[in-house]
Amino acid sequence: MWPGRCPASSSSTSCTTTPWAARRPSPRRPSPPRSSRPPPRRCLRSSSSRASPRARRKSPTYAAAPTEPNESRRPRMTTELVQLLTPEGRRVHHPEYAVDPSAAELRGLHRDMVLARRLDAEAVTLQRQGELALWPSLLGQEAAQIGSARALRPKDHAFPSYREHGVALVRNLDPAHLLSLFRGASNGSWDPAENNFHLYTLVIGSQALHATGYAMGVAKDGADTAVIGYFGDGASSQGDVAEAFTFGAVYDAPIVFFCQNNQWAISEPTERQMRVPLYRRAAGFGFPGVRVDGNDVLACLAVTRAALDHVRTGSGPMLVEAYTYRMGAHTTSDDPTKYRDEAEVEEWRAKDPILRLRRLLEREGHADEDWFAALDEEAETLGRRVREIVRTMPDPDPSVMFENVYADGHALVDEERARFAAYQESFVDAGRSN
Amino acid sequence: MVTKSLPLAKALNEALRAALESDPKVLLMGEDIGKLGGVFRVTDGLQKDFGESRVMDSPLAESGIVGTAIGLALRGYRPVVEIQFDGFVFPAYDQIVTQLAKMHARSQGKVRLPVVIRIPYGGGIGAVEHHSESPEALFAHVAGLKIVSPSTPSDAYWMLRQAIRSDDPVIFFEPKRRYWDKGDVDTDLDPGELHEARVAREGTDLTLAAYGPMVKTCLQAAVAAEEEGRSIEVVDLRSVSPIDFDTVQASVEKTGRLVVVHEAPVFFGSGAEIAARITERCFYHLEAPVLRVGGYHAPYPPARLEEEYLPGLDRVLDAVDRSLAY
């Protein structure tokens, strides 16, 4: 008879590969017992001076992290926010993460962010005009997306969620593909192999496993390729993300888990998703995690590049938490004024990723007014092109419904396709095709 | 000709071995499939011969198994994953339904996901709960998946090889109560198409349509009915998505009567689909309404009651009597 299924054995509670996890004290104050915790919202708005999840959220440490002895082969796990560029546009030295882009590269990063923001703004407008069914805005997350995407090599693979329009632009994906998805003219349509940019994934967290499986394949091939899987703070609550961490770790897959913690999962704040800073979750799975200022494009570039280099060595995954903020709505369907304070938005407005780099470019004399003006013109051209693409986009031929359901064909699909064609044909015969 | 007499489980093992030998991109993944050889020993000895990188013991996480198999397929591999038991597939249901089934269509044909999901399914072995279910209709409802279930060792061997060669995701339901049934397997055979139904026994009075574990039961019922002077035809569907309605239609046009038999609950089951379609196709040939025999609209019962729940010889013969009484 069959032996039945054994439950997973729970052996040690400590993780031998992450000694720092046990030693490093939590910067967070000890939690009160769960029953005496204040309700997480409403009351907090009127008591901002009190130590609360909101207050904690507002004060990530911006200072450089002190270094710590480390016996492991894994890189050190930085517990504080890695920052290389202050909101005022001043450079900050970080002992572990450095990047020294040329003036042209700095201008390139700025250009990418401006174009991503312009694409996004145009798409939001088009949705308001009824031309798109939905649009998830990336406003505020330009640095996290451009910095991480610019860290990729051409052969690396990116697995997006559904908001990675900036990553898509960097990977040379024609915006028409993104727009057709959100117009409802396709369900994806692009070839992931063309730019190594995989399909958007709307079910939260699913792509973390696809990225991990892909990276497992890369490891088997012995290829010099790394994989980056994007997801958000809300997705960190999904089982698939936890399972991706497990699979990535136990198979030493060359994957960077890149979480854009934009603070809100539709209307639910991060306090509804986690009680421990997200990047620290990596320690429990046996790989390093680091939190980066997600509004600092230089830090995102440096940290992601270091993370990709780390995973390329065959040492297993790395988690990067880009601490950022979604300035707009989750998608055009929700109204953030119903669930969050304008003061919070204002606070983050001061940390704007584009303004920050522009200040650096101006301060260090890398770009003049003419250059910025030319970039504005380029952005306007992109905006016009986006409008043009959407307004001239044909509806797909109805027969597309039956195409590619199966690779090898399927009798039922063939039968229904034929029936549908005959039905359509009947209108033509009756002279009522229009 | 290389014909061997093998139990169904061993035929599956031979199919996996042949697939691993013939295509370096074929990978096996699943819980306990390596050293242990799977809880039913279907993968016995394969890790020893092909190594841990091709026969991979997985973490205990079904969504992870299917989700990473999707990623491996995107990288060009052909993963064959094992879900340990039917009732454990549901943690992976989301990945199968929202991702695996749809990605080929979503990408307008640019992505192919040749993933095979092997699921030992069905009751009759006295198991505890979640170890005896027949969830095939839940998957057959989803476009983009192919659903098959062999009933003989020969089909087990060939259908698994064909499933692995298919560029479509295939859910391969293995009739676990038939794992130990022996039969001839000709490994040089030129098999028919994966989706083609097979007339397992010829007859003139009534058609029994079944797949997987119920084919044997239906053949036994046909033998018993013969003693009562009734000639029963048995059609082994082999594939639940697509269903080879042409073969069923030809049989029903000959016999005028159809009884569909499966272990899964009758309500919204594959029998309902077959009854509806055959009624459309064969309305003027039918001498009786299409009848269905299957499980009840109740959770699979404790094993001590499963003989009452599962369609056995008597329940099939009762349906035959009811059909012939019209």
Written as tens digits, the pLDDT of chain B (326 aa) is 688 999 999 999 999 999 999 999 999 999 999 999 999 999 999 999 999 999 999 999 999 999 999 999 999 999 999 999 999 999 999 999 999 999 999 999 999 999 999 999 999 999 999 999 999 999 999 999 999 999 999 999 999 999 999 999 999 999 999 999 999 999 998 788 999 999 999 999 999 999 999 999 999 999 999 999 999 999 999 999 999 999 999 999 999 999 999 999 999 999 999 999 999 999 999 999 999 999 999 999 999 999 999 999 999 999 999 999 99
- Tokens 């994953």 belong to residue: B81
**Distant-in-sequence, close-in-space partners of A44: CB < 8 Å, separation ≥ 6:** A38, A50, A52, A53, A54
Identify which of B88, B105, B166 has the shortest CB distance to residue A405.
Answer: B105
What's the rounded Cα separation, in Å, for the pair A414 and B199?
23
Identify which of A191, A247, A400 has the shortest CB distance to residue B64.
Answer: A247
**What is residue A41's predicted lDDT score, i.e. its pLDDT?**
35
Q: Where residue A430 falls among pLDDT bands split at 50, 70, 90?
A: low
Closest approach of B162 to chain A, Cα-based (Å): 12
What's the rounded Cα separation, in Å, for the pair B318 and B324?
10
**What is residue A382's predicted lDDT score, i.e. its pLDDT?**
98
Establish if B168 touches chain A: CB-CB under 8 angstroms: yes
| CB–CB contacts below 8 A, A to B | 169
Residue of A nearest to B54 (CA): A220
What's the rounded Cα separation, in Å, for the pair A336 and A349?
15
What is the 3-state secondary structure of chain B?
Answer: CCEEEEEHHHHHHHHHHHHHHHCCCEEEEECCCCCCCCCCCCCCCHHHHHCCCCEEECCCCHHHHHHHHHHHHHCCCEEEEECCCHHHCHHHHHHHHHHHCCHHHHCCCCCCCCCEEEEEECCCCCCCCCCCCCCHHHHHCCCCCEEECCCCHHHHHHHHHHHHHCCCCEEEEEEHHHCCCEEEEECCCCCCCCCCCEEEECCCCEEEEECCHHHHHHHHHHHHHHHCCCCEEEEECCEEECCCHHHHHHHHHHHCCEEEEEEEECCCCHHHHHHHHHHHHHCCCCCCCCEEEEECCCCCCCHHHHHHHCCCHHHHHHHHHHHHCC
Topology of domain B3-186, CATH: Rossmann fold (3.40.50)
Helix axes A103-128, A142-150, angle to 10 degrees: 130
**Distant-in-sequence, close-in-space partners of A409: CB < 8 Å, separation ≥ 6:** none
Identify which of B94, B128, B245 has the shortest CB distance to residue A203.
Answer: B94
- The hierarchical CATH code for the domain B198-325 is 3.40.50.920
Q: Looking at the predicted structure, is the pLDDT value of residue A43 above 70?
A: no
CB contact under 8 A, B126 and A4: no
Alpha-carbon Rg of chain B, whole angstroms? 19
Identify which of A188, A206, A218 has the shortest CB distance to residue B75.
Answer: A218
Best B35, B75, B104 residue to mutate vs chain A (most A CBs within 10 Å): B75
CB contact under 8 A, A2 and B127: yes
C-alpha dist (Å) from residue B268 to B43, B122, B139, B296 = 33, 17, 12, 11
**What is residue A431's predicted lDDT score, i.e. its pLDDT?**
55
Each residue's pLDDT tens digit, B226-285: 999 999 999 999 999 999 999 999 999 999 999 999 999 999 999 999 999 999 999 999
Q: Which is nearest to A305 in space by CA: A168, A101, A135? A: A101
**What is residue A145's predicted lDDT score, i.e. its pLDDT?**
98
CB contact under 8 A, A213 and B75: yes
**Distant-in-sequence, close-in-space partners of A243: CB < 8 Å, separation ≥ 6:** A209, B59, B61, B63, B64, B67
What's the rounded Cα separation, in Å, for the pair B281 and B272?
14
ipTM of the complex: 0.96
Residue of B nearest to A189 (CA): B107
**What is residue A131's predicted lDDT score, i.e. its pLDDT?**
97
Q: Which is nearest to B197 in space by CA: B175, B212, B178, B186? A: B212
User: Taking the CB of residue A425, how many other CB atoms lie within 10 A of it?
Assistant: 11
Q: Looking at the predicted structure, is the pLDDT value of residue A226 above 80?
A: yes
What's the rounded Cα separation, in Å, for the pair A41 and A54?
9
Q: For residue A291, give the H/E element and its range.
A: strand A289-293
In chain B, ranges of CATH 3.40.50.920 domains: 198-325
**What is residue B192's predicted lDDT score, i.e. its pLDDT?**
87
What's the rounded Cα separation, in Å, for the pair A375 and B215?
70
In chain B, ranges of CATH 3.40.50.970 domains: 3-186
Each residue's pLDDT tens digit, A67-112: 343 444 444 444 589 999 999 999 999 999 989 999 999 999 999 9
Q: Which residues of A touch B105 (CB under 8 A)?
A: 187, 403-405
Is B141 among the catalytic positions?
no
**Distant-in-sequence, close-in-space partners of B57: CB < 8 Å, separation ≥ 6:** B30, B31, B32, B33, B34, B35, B47
What's the rounded Cα separation, in Å, for the pair A190 and A172?
12
Q: Where residue A428 falls among pLDDT bands split at 50, 70, 90?
A: confident
**What is residue B190's predicted lDDT score, i.e. its pLDDT?**
79
CA angle, corner A86, sides to A158 and A309, nearest 5? 35
**What is residue A398's predicted lDDT score, i.e. its pLDDT?**
93
**What is residue A176's predicted lDDT score, i.e. its pLDDT?**
97
Return the percentage of chain A with pLDDT > 90, whole number.
79
- Tokens 């499986």 belong to residue: A213
Q: Which residues of A touch B176 (CB under 8 A)?
A: 2
Closest approach of A199 to chain B, Cα-based (Å): 8
| pTM of the model as a whole | 0.89
Each residue's pLDDT tens digit, A383-422: 999 999 999 999 999 999 999 999 998 999 999 999 999 9
Q: Which is nearest to A327 in space by CA: A298, A301, A353, A303? A: A353
Least confidently predicted of A146-150, A272-276, B144-148: A272-276
CB contact under 8 A, B67 and A243: yes
Instruction: Judge contact between B96 and B64, C-beta under 8 A.
Output: no
Catalytic-labelled residue, pool B131, B141, B195, B262: B131
Q: Which residues of B touch A209 (CB under 8 A)?
A: 63-64, 66-68, 70-71, 95
User: Taking the CB of residue A193, how many other CB atoms lie within 10 A of it?
Assistant: 14
Q: Which two tokens stand for residue B176?
A: 């676990």
Best A1, A2, A413 residue to mutate vs chain B (most B CBs within 10 Å): A2
CB contact under 8 A, B107 and A244: no
Q: Please give the mean pLDDT across all residues of chain A.
A: 85
Establish if B238 touches chain A: CB-CB under 8 angstroms: no
Q: Looking at the predicted structure, is the pLDDT value of residue A5 above 90?
A: no
Closest approach of B318 to chain A, Cα-based (Å): 31
What's the rounded Cα separation, in Å, for the pair A204 and A350?
30
What's the rounded Cα separation, in Å, for the pair A170 and A145?
9
CB contact under 8 A, B61 and A407: no
Q: Which residues of A touch B85 (CB under 8 A)?
A: 5
Best A177, A406, A415 residue to mutate vs chain B (most B CBs within 10 Å): A406
**What is residue A319's predicted lDDT score, i.e. its pLDDT?**
98
What's the rounded Cα separation, in Å, for the pair A359 and A91?
11
Q: Looking at the predicted structure, is the pLDDT value of residue A40 above 90?
A: no
